[in-house]
Structure 1
Amino acid sequence: MRPLLSPLSWALWFGYAFLYVPIALLILYSFNESRLVTVWGGFSTKWYGELLHNAPLLDSAWLSVQIAGLSATLAVVLGTLAGLALARFGRFRGRTLFGGLISAPLVMPEVIIGLSLLLLFVAMEQWIGWPDGRGMTTITIAHTTFTTAYVAVIVQSRLAGMDGSLEEAAMDLGARPAKVFFVITLPLIAPAIVAGWLLAFTLSLDDVVVASFVSGPGSTTLPMTILSSVRFGVSPQINALATIIVLVVAAGIFVASLLLARRERQRRRDEQMALQGG
């Protein structure tokens, strides 16, 4: 008699359980009546109601979302340009140094990144008077600095594995490099750009080490608020907020997947029509 699941399947299911059971428990205990997050006291939605009246927690969550959105967008622009330079410009002078600078944040400890950026911001404030203190601006710049590296690696990998014959054919037909990029290259690497934006958004939203160095009074992000509340016991309101974030992120990923799948189907239909027409 054959086993129902092979060892590989057991390992796969164990990995899924290790990743997603804690998230499922977090969502479950957001509906807990008890104030103790580890003791079930019955089903209740009162923590969602109390969350709406917790202004400091909501303000920190909104600040984190704003910083994550801005830094992810800036990281996508800079990372796409960096990935394009590394994948398409060949061996130019300083390429090794440029590639090393791009990939350095991937392996550098966050403590070093946060401390170096703090020293930079302090020196800039003394020399030119900007930035005026530490706050949302400095956190956004700091998060853009290390998330750009992730976007650059993703875009570079996509460009390296992409067939360049379409770009060459467009240039042979007289298209300028800028038009080739926006009409042909950009749509082809759109999945990588979306993936890079989502990864940068998640890394920014999750960061607490770098933000602790470059933040100031009145600019407390959500991870910093949660970390400070751990000393006194995590409130079920944080479970409720985390549940809302998980659902919003899951919905965003689902919609993005549908749009990318639709664009891929459209691209395949266009290629088939072009082949049939030829």
Structure 2
Amino acid sequence: MGSFFSKQVERRKSIHTQKKLLYDLKEKTSSNFPGSDYRSDDRKNWMSTLALEKLQVNQIIWPGTHDSATNKIGIPFISRPFARTQSMSIYNQLVTGTRVLDIRVQEDSRVCHGILVSYHVDVVINDVKKFLSETQSEIIILEIRTEFGHDDPPEFDTYLENQLGEFLIHQDNSVFNKTVAELLPKRVICVWKPRKSAQPKHGSPLWSAGYLKDNWIDTDLPETKFESNMKHLSEQQPVTSRKYFYRVENTVTPQADNPVLCVKPVTNRIRPYARLFINESISRGYSDRLQIYSTDFIDEDFVDACIGLTNARIEGKL
């Protein structure tokens, strides 16, 4: 028992030390980066407010959400706090400016996060289609994967094609160098990541798993995650040289051996440092590698940081 408490004390010290390291770095670092003062007047249509004929797919800093469809997961006040990473519906996330969705499904096509389940994926698709019907020039990256430990929903690729067919941008490497204006009226890049079923092939309406990559590590230590994100970002090719999307997630994850198991207080150890990460990636020379930037509990400030940096790229300020 004494060993257990000793480990917990050391763990709390490590968390405190790492939070202080990020806080001190933020205090001594300028918060200004190209586009940092940008504030969108219309986040629902933010791509439309930029120069669509100049905005190439590989230039966009895509604001994304981690475990996007968890707003109603589990049982309220009982299991939900342990798995909920977003408080807004998919539709409201899109209206707020989110453009990359991370959806996990199980065999019966219900959204899940580990062993906890939520609504049927139809809710996600209907929210996406509602948003698309109300906008004209917003491109969405919709990543759907079979959750670890589950089998693929039967004929799920057919389901996605039937539901989103008119909007789907087909799998094609040339898409990365195209502008948003050139892709319209097609508006959804749907990456389907099955566990056992065949991957979508070149030319398919859906995109295969290799087109959306990340280097996720399972930690609740914020500075450890911050520096891991930076290290893996540094190892990527510039966005203009690669034919896949690369995601950085400004998140940390509750650990089973730690007393704090609810998502929000844990992920809040790193959430305030989203702009710091952007600033540090620029100062360390990695700004040309940033692409998808995701978070838990997305907010308007996070979205504005991504839009501002995107606009700076278009204007040649980055």
TM (normalized to structure 2)? 0.23
Structure of greater relative contact order (alpha carbons < 8 Å, 6+ residues apart):
1
Structure that is richer in helix per residue = 1
* Rg comparison, structure with higher value: 1
Structure that is richer in strand per residue = 2
TM (normalized to structure 1)? 0.25
